[in-house]
Homo-oligomer: A and B are copies of this chain.
Amino acid sequence: MKLYNWQAPNPRRVRIFLAEKDIKIPLVDVGDGPRLKAEYLAKFPQATVPMLELDDGTVIGEAIAICRYFEEIQPAPPLFGTDPLSKAQIAMWEVRAIDEGLMAFAEFYRNSNPKFVDRALPGTDEPVPQIPALLERARGRVRRIYKKFDEQLSHNAFIVGDQYSIADISALCAIDFGAASQMGVESDFAIDCQHVKRWHAEVSARPSASA
């Protein structure tokens, strides 16, 4: 199998996940500057990264689905929880890390960066104009998710309890992507979030964080 990869937060979620499980697979770089290579778009019209191609040609898109696949074929160490409640709580926080975290950071980045003029949404070749009014909305979303993470991490070692999980991976990738828009953990957006900073230092020190 092969993982179609790019320097972007969603492929990073999978790379960290694989590193935590000590799974090594070939990576295929599909970036062409700030765009995806034409041959990749032809192969995978979904036009998102990452994508996992199995040896029989089956393709799996969406980072969380790829991680789920590897959790099933190699359960150890478990990164999606170990019992019904921890599985549910990890799923809950993973969704929040993406829907309220990564999407907010991405909304700001895509609607402000000159490289993404007319490409304000991923996953399509149709022109999608940037909407400047989204920047203020995104700022509010970012402030709220930092507060939410901080409250959760005030009484949890990791995002869910004392076990590192996919929820930590997704939260880390979201927050670090924020740094591209001066919204990272060192920015004013996280200024009072001591628990996020403590956690961020710990998860960033794991070897997987540089995968």
> Contact: A131 with B128, CB < 8 Å?
no
- A31: CB under 8 A from chain B? no
Which of A118-126, A173-181, A192-200 is found at the contact surface with chain B?
A118-126
Q: Shortest distance in angstroms between A127's beta carbon and chain B's nearest beta carbon?
A: 9
Interface residues on A, range: 35 or more
Which of A22-30, A91-99, A182-190 is found at the contact surface with chain B?
A91-99
A193 to B88: give the CA distance in the assembly, Å. Answer: 35
Q: Shortest distance in angstroms between A142's beta carbon and chain B's nearest beta carbon?
A: 12
- Interface members, chain A 120-175 (any B CB < 8 Å): 120-121, 123-124, 126, 128-129, 131, 133-134, 137, 140-141, 144, 148
Residue of B nearest to A136 (CB): B129
Q: Write the residues of chain A forming the contact surface with B, with a CB cutoff of 8 angstroms.
A: 46, 54, 58, 60-62, 64-66, 68-69, 72-73, 83-85, 87-89, 91-92, 95-96, 99-100, 120-121, 123-124, 126, 128-129, 131, 133-134, 137, 140-141, 144, 148
9 contacts between A and B (CB under 8 A): A46-B148, A60-B92, A62-B92, A66-B88, A99-B99, A120-B137, A121-B137, A123-B144, A124-B140
